[in-house]
Amino acid sequence: MGLIYSLLSNFGNKERNHRILMLGIDAAGKTTLLYHMKLGEPVTTIPTIGFNVETIQLASNAVLTIWDVSGGCPALWKYYLESTDALIYVVDASDRDRLEETTQHMMNLLANEALKNIVLLVLANKADLNDAISSSQLANEMGLYSLDIKWHIQSTVATTGQGISQGLEWLNNILQKLPSHIY
């Protein structure tokens, strides 16, 4: 009887599982953002070789399995695209010298058939630095307004957590409307 009660009490409150891919060129702050999302505090990180995977439980019963893939070799990113519900693309908003490079990598990704209906969250990280580009200017320069997908850009500071919850809230609201997966 306890099992039946347990099953019925959870009816309609099932966890919603989503596979999220977090990409961006090296030194954008992906791993620092990931662990701030997971732990709620900054951690010291080293450059990622390969990938990190963390599961984050949101208050809405959504479970995000976030794959943080090394930015050192963007040619390998294509191997992680399958069954991805959303792409978090991290940009160093203070690195104007690499803006064209990071934009090209993002646009190449979005041209992949596996991502044709992807939800895109761009995190404009390091927004606290003096030479950081505003998120609206970054959206213009990266060509986000020309995209035919659901997207949002959010200024963030990985070391303090600024903007992270707002970005995840937007992502969660969009993902609630998508089918859930079991991984």
Residue 92 labeled ligand binder? no
Rg (CA), the chain: 17
- The CA-based angle 131-141-116, given to 5 degrees, is 130
Residue 163 labeled ligand binder? no
Residue 85 labeled ligand binder? no
Torsion sign over Cα 88, 128, 126, 94: positive
Residue 161 labeled ligand binder? no
Residue 14 labeled ligand binder? no
Residue 24 labeled ligand binder? yes
Residue 111 labeled ligand binder? no
Per the DSSP assignment, residues forming a β-bridge with 64 are 18, 56
How many secondary structure helices (H) and strands (E) does the chain include?
Answer: 5, 6
Residue 30 labeled ligand binder? yes
Residue 27 labeled ligand binder? yes
Query: SS3 for 90-145, per residue?
Result: EEECCCHHHHHHHHHHHHHHHCCHHHCCCEEEEEEECCCCCCCCCHHHHHHHHCHH
CA distances from 153 to 47, 136, 140, 147 (A): 24, 8, 11, 13
Residue 125 labeled ligand binder? yes
Residues within the annotated binding site for GTP? 24-31, 71, 125-128
Binding residues: 24-31, 48, 71, 125-128
Binding residues for Mg(2+): 31, 48
